[in-house]
Amino acid sequence: MAETAAETEAVIAAVRTHHAAMSDTLAGHTEAVARAADDRQRAAALSALVAYLRGEVLVHAAAEESTIYAAAAPLAPSLVEALELEHRDLAEQVQGLARTAAGATPPAALPLAMAAAAVLAVFRVHAAKENDVVLPLVAAAGQPLRPLLGEMERAFAAGLAAAASA
């Protein structure tokens, strides 16, 4: 079924909006980590950041891999491989933050603020590639984006439910 250019644009806009919302939320957590006045505040901000990354950002990444990336892989295998490496990198950074959060000693302020800012920076540039390169590429190959977004939203919702019950 053909999709009009306006429909394609609407899907890309919806993904862009979701990415921007995640980026803003992530920036808020990153700022809270950086601005924490003491160890207690820092620990609370860090655990909120880790919970958000695990509960939403990594769930989103997994949902993308099984839907949008699967559609893009035959068109641009190296691009998808590179984006998957970025997902792996994000997951490793989240694990590092989680280890810091679980550590016996309070995290040092500056290294923690830098680590949080690094996650945000990777996320932003990664999401821009999805918005501006991957989705237009899939659309240009004639694949309707609306059903793909629907699949991704279902995978995301299933992932959120699984994360909530874990």
Residues that bind Fe ion (CB under 5 A): 61, 64, 130
Distance between CA atoms of residues 61 and 65, nearest Å: 6
Query: Which tokens in the block code for residue 85?
Result: 């490496």
- Taking the least distance from each CB to Fe ion, the nearer of 12 and 45 is 12
Q: How many CB atoms lie within 10 A of CB 3?
A: 18
Q: How far is the CB of 17 from Fe ion (least distance, A)?
A: 12
Distance between CA atoms of residues 42 and 136, nearest Å: 40
Q: How far is the CB of 144 from Fe ion (least distance, A)?
A: 19
Distance between CA atoms of residues 165 and 110, nearest Å: 34
Helices (H) and strands (E) in the chain, counts: 8, 0
**Closest Cα partner for 119 from 19, 49, 48, 44?**
49
- Taking the least distance from each CB to Fe ion, the nearer of 29 and 42 is 29
- Taking the least distance from each CB to Fe ion, the nearer of 16 and 146 is 16
- Taking the least distance from each CB to Fe ion, the nearer of 43 and 63 is 63
Q: How far is the CB of 22 from Fe ion (least distance, A)?
A: 8
Q: How far is the CB of 45 from Fe ion (least distance, A)?
A: 24
Q: How far is the CB of 65 from Fe ion (least distance, A)?
A: 8
- Taking the least distance from each CB to Fe ion, the nearer of 31 and 84 is 84
Q: Is 163 helix (H, G, I), strand (E, B) or coil?
A: helix
